[in-house]
Amino acid sequence: MAITDLSLQIPTLLLFDWHGTLVDTQDAMFEAMTEMLPQLEELDLVDRLLAEDQCRNADDVKLVRYVRIFRRLHPKILAERRVSRTDIFNAIFGDDVEAKRVAHEAYNRSYRNYFGRVTPFQQGVGSYLQALKALGLKLGIATNRSREFLDVELQTVDEGEWVAHIDTTICADDVSQYKPHPEVIYAALQTLDIPPDRHAWYIGDSYQDMVTARCAGVTAIFYNGARTPDEELQQLFVDHPACQPDAIINSFDELLDLLEQLQQRDPSVFCAPVAQHRPAFIEPPQPPPIRIEPDWHPAMARLKKPSAILFDWHATLVDTLDAMYHAVDDMLPDMRAKGLLDKLVDPALSKSEEDARLVEYVQSYS
């Protein structure tokens, strides 16, 4: 566990993100994303994708480029499963609030086909929530999930046993803006008449959760359930030190470690000793296997010794561009007579804006 602020305030309230922190809804989320992303064209969102030179880091550049070309997530993201739909939309739309609102609404329509498949993100989460309540802490959930989904999933996970431990829940459709706007945290605090100060902790699994906590003026706790390596975490926050978390925990057991350290400073801070109520140790989530993605990193591909090498001709061994373009210019006027214009792909189904413009040009000038 890495604590970055040794002056942590004693919490009176622990607010949790939902997906990726308390629960795992990855299967449903990625199926909904797979259904939603091909709709970017009809949603008029392709032109609102973030310019690559405005992306926060190299990974976001790759994500925007892949979504722009293929209208789907790269297999590397699907395999590692470390990002949420909020992370994705913030990466590809940046500060365009209206574009993100449209994208979230489209995602929710798709998610209705898949939600309900929910499991605890870490084994024993229910026992940890029970222990936290026994210490006299208020517990809440502040999430970008829609109310219709959260209520069902909260009643579903662990057969609804968590409901008795949760004092408040605030969803995206209870407020006017999605995270990282702090409104979800403010609304949760207001329901419990708790001020937005450092005695309220927000625990989430993403950079955007830390931004949300900082904007709200509460303590930011990063839950590293995906077991992102330390060097990647450092890089995640290095360009934005103001969003650095106050503490990083890898499991709910480490959350209790953190509270026990605070109780050692002042034994009276909670209504019972932490050690008296903490569950037996449960192994934290394990990191996903390392994935090498050869189509993004061809130098890392594991190649076998060749028995033969075959080459493409044009643009590999030779340059025949002049002849090729002259031939295409001579051929295009004949397309209508040969009945080929009716066989052109619909511009709306093109893989990129450039392909769509090319098809429309050929249609107009052949």
CATH number at residue 248: 3.40.50.1000
The answer to whether residue 170 sits within a structural domain is yes
Are 314 and 323 in contact by the 8 Å Cβ rule? The answer is no
Q: Which of 277, 302, 330 is the last residue of a domain?
A: 277
Within this chain, do residues 241 and 337 fall inside the same structural domain, yes or no? no
The answer to whether residue 300 sits within a structural domain is no
The answer to whether residue 294 sits within a structural domain is no
Q: Is 360 helix (H, G, I), strand (E, B) or coil?
A: helix
What does pTM read for this prediction? 0.70
Are 17 and 203 in contact by the 8 Å Cβ rule? The answer is yes
The answer to whether residue 53 sits within a structural domain is yes
- Mean pLDDT of the region 206-223: 94
pLDDT band at 2, cuts 50/70/90?
very low
Question: Which residue do the tokens 């033969």 mark?
Answer: 308
pLDDT band at 302, cuts 50/70/90?
low
Which stretches does DSSP call E strand in 99-218? 119-120, 138-142, 168-170, 200-204
- Count of domains observed in the chain: 3
Q: What is the pLDDT of residue 350?
A: 77
Q: Note down the domain range covering 229.
A: 2-21+119-277
Q: Which of 111, 143, 164 is the last residue of a domain?
A: 111
Q: Is 278 exposed, middle or buried (0-12, 13-18, 19+ CB in 10 A)?
A: buried
Within this chain, do residues 45 and 91 fall inside the same structural domain, yes or no? yes
| 127-146 exposure pattern, b = at least 16 Cβ within 10 A, e = fewer | bbbbbbbbbebbbbbbbbbb
Are 196 and 186 in contact by the 8 Å Cβ rule? The answer is yes
Within this chain, do residues 52 and 190 fall inside the same structural domain, yes or no? no
The answer to whether residue 305 sits within a structural domain is no
Higher pLDDT, 322 or 8: 8
If you average pLDDT over each of 28-42, 301-315, 316-330, which comes out highest? 28-42
- Structure confidence by residue, pLDDT tens digits, 124-175: 999 999 999 999 999 999 999 999 999 999 999 999 999 999 999 999 999 9
- Structure confidence by residue, pLDDT tens digits, 246-272: 999 999 999 999 999 999 988 999 999
Q: Is 236 helix (H, G, I), strand (E, B) or coil?
A: helix
